[in-house]
Chains A and B, each alone.
Chain A
Amino acid sequence: MNWYGIKAIYIHEMERFRRTLFQSLASPIITTSLYFVVFGSAIGSRITEIDGINYGSYIVPGMIMLTILTQSISNASFAFYFPRFTNTIYEILAAPLSSFEIVLGFVGAAASKSLIIGCVIILTANFFVDVRIDHPLLMMFFLILTSITFALFGFIIGMYAEGFEGLQIIPILIITPLVFLGGSFYSINMLPEFWQKISLLNPVLYLISGFRYSFYEVSDVSLLTSTLTILTILIGCIIFITYTFSKGYRIKD
């Protein structure tokens, strides 16, 4: 293993995060605060409790998931697309690094950034509502696994994007709607039966449900199904990346 190579990519990416620390952290903090003002105070005053949990507290896991998913994707996709755009990718391709090591460096850094932001959101949420974490280890398991999985997904976007607009299309058109419709701000039990069944087709629902269980021991679907869903997406991303690398990263041809 080229550990120095992996470390170089990781530190290089984290350095970019450090350079833009204010923007990186300010954006999720402000967004989270706005969600609490709008959903927690305005709408939350009419929905007092869901599954016995105060509405403001109930939406915390969903908000964290929303941020983790979008940040993991955007961090990883930008991180890999940017050297492609500036042509500095030549150095990574010419270095004695395996495909696995390249992915480990980029995805590791993107997932780390998301984890930091996730923790900042938990702290921010504490200023607005009481946040209880019944299963901290399970919460960290979901947080880390989701960060890695969606950083891998972002890496795929970074490999395939043909322009900066391409980096935005999937997060805006697919991921954000899936998160909003995946029970971030409500329980699917509140929906009519037909829409409950439709919601079960949304993979993000399973992630949010499992993550919420780690906080309050309430969920829309079983913990096992949630875990299997995230693992399936993770394996799917790994297979896709392996396939793309075997074809020359879409760069080497």
Chain B
Amino acid sequence: MKNILEINNVTKFYKNSVKALENVNLNIKEGEIFALLGPNGAGKSTLINSICGIVNFNTGTIKINNMDIIKNYRTTRKITGIVPQELNLESFETVWNNVNYSRGLFGKKPDHNYIEKLLKQLSLWDKKDNKIKELSGGMKRRVLIAKALSHQPKLLFLDEPTASVDVELRKDMWDVVKKLNQDGVTIILTTHYIEEAEELSDRVAVINDGKIILVDEKDKLIKKLGEKTIKIELFEPIEKINGNLSKYNFTLDQTNKIISHTYNLNSNTTDITELLNDVKKDGYEIKDINTEQSSLEEIFIKLIKENNNELVRN
């Protein structure tokens, strides 16, 4: 699949010499949902704002559909939409005017049928004549999405799309994002909610201190960096782990009945069949077996911790 976005060696300094982005390289494939993860101040929003032309970057190049975003800003911006993190809206304007205004800004001829369809799709149609100040936070977030989609972009940036949104609405938003993607829109989202990235994205990048520290397919990432824990519940408690079990890195819980072993999904060092045979050989009877896999959130925390330690060492 071809790249819709190519970022090469992008560096951005703010006026106070704070380095916000450092040699960022990233390619986004057409049609994918890409999640950009990182702690506060990592550079996620700066990167998105640089791509969309909201802030200037100092060095490097950014191309959308193989066109430089500075030299060909009219063409590239026409196919790009952005939903900002904050609820930045004109409070005294109606939903209808707000969305049509956005379409006009992006150089598109008025199309009331399309805007009507869009507002219906986002469950905003019955609110079209309401002023923004009369809407709830969730509805405002939907208006921002409607504004970003008003000019039918091919590449959509969602900067923390479900920040301060309740669980039910978050699920609704996920459905909207999935539907947009099915309709052919490439989506790049930044999020604090790892479950969001886990639920939606095809690929994930982790950014920390202005640098991309990892890019991979979500499933591969979980497999590569994820850990799995096998918990074996025994009928009888045991005093100490010895015998055949001592060759595994087992831990014993407080009841002395559950033994746990954690192993890397990518390594071939643990043979589960052999492990279970060893338990049986040592004369223990198994009551239950349970496995737990590390989430993207745990992987993310681990990565950031390692990266921060590396930064301190350097």
Contacts and interface: CB of A to CB of B under 8 A. Distances in A.
Nearest to B106: A95
A253 interface: yes
A249 to B, nearest CB: 10
A8 B53 contact: no
Interface string A69-102: 0000000000000000011101111111100000
Nearest to B90: A88
A128 B74 CA distance: 53
Interface stretch (B96-104, B210-218, B270-278): B96-104
A248 interface: yes
Q: Is the interface of A mostly helix, strand, loop or mixed?
A: helix
A8 B90 contact: no
B104 A253 contact: no
Contacts of A87: 84, 86, 88
A5 interface: yes
B193 interface: no
Contacts of B77: 94-96
Interface in B74-94: 74-75, 77-78, 80, 82, 84, 86, 88-93
A19 interface: yes
A252 B54 contact: yes
Interface string A31-69: 000000000000000000000000000000000000000
B235 interface: no
A5 B55 contact: no
A95 B88 CA distance: 15
B22 to A, nearest CB: 17
A98 B109 CA distance: 18
Contacts of B86: 87
Nearest to B74: A96
Given A96-B78, A253-B14, A4 B107 contact: yes
Contacts of B75: 96
Contact of A5 (B52, B92, B104, B110): B104
A90 B88 CA distance: 9
Given A12-B101, A86-B88, A252-B56, A96 B15 contact: no
Instruction: Output the residue of A4, A86, A88, A94 with the most chain B CB within 10 A.
Output: A94
Nearest to A8: B104
B135 to A, nearest CB: 15
Contact of A96 (B56, B92, B103, B106): B106
Contact of B56 (A3, A88, A92, A248): A248
Nearest to B100: A8
A15 interface: yes
Given A94-B80, A253-B15, A15 B97 contact: yes
A7 B104 contact: yes
Given A96-B73, A96-B77, A90 B105 contact: no
B44 interface: no
B88 A88 contact: yes
Interface residues of A, number: 25
A205 interface: no
A253 B109 CA distance: 31
Interface string A217-248: 00000000000000000000000000000001
B109 A4 contact: yes
A90 B104 contact: no
B147 interface: yes
Interface string B55-69: 110000000000000
A151 interface: no
A89 to B, nearest CB: 8
Given A2-B107, A90-B54, A8 B82 contact: no
B19 interface: no
B108 interface: yes
A91 B52 CA distance: 10
A125 B104 CA distance: 39
A91 B147 contact: yes
A9 interface: yes
B132 to A, nearest CB: 10
Instruction: Output the residue of A4, A87, A95, A253 with the most chain B CB within 10 A.
Output: A95
A2 B91 CA distance: 26
Contact of A90 (B56, B74, B84): B84
24 contacts: A4-B104, A4-B107, A4-B108, A4-B109, A4-B110, A5-B104, A5-B105, A5-B106, A7-B104, A8-B103, A9-B105, A88-B90, A90-B52, A90-B82, A90-B88, A91-B147, A94-B52, A94-B77, A94-B80, A95-B77, A96-B75, A252-B54, A252-B56, A253-B15
Given A8-B100, A9-B105, 20 more contacts: A4-B108, A5-B107, A8-B101, A8-B104, A8-B105, A11-B104, A86-B88, A87-B86, A88-B88, A90-B82, A93-B53, A94-B53, A94-B54, A94-B82, A96-B77, A96-B78, A96-B106, A252-B54, A252-B55, A253-B15
Interface of A: 2-5, 7-9, 11-12, 15, 19, 86-88, 90-97, 248, 252-253
The 7 A-B residue pairs with the shortest CB-CB distance in the complex, in nearest-first order = A8-B104, A95-B105, A96-B77, A87-B88, A96-B74, A2-B107, A94-B52
Interface of B: 14-15, 49, 52-56, 73-75, 77-78, 80, 82, 84, 86, 88-93, 97, 100-110, 147
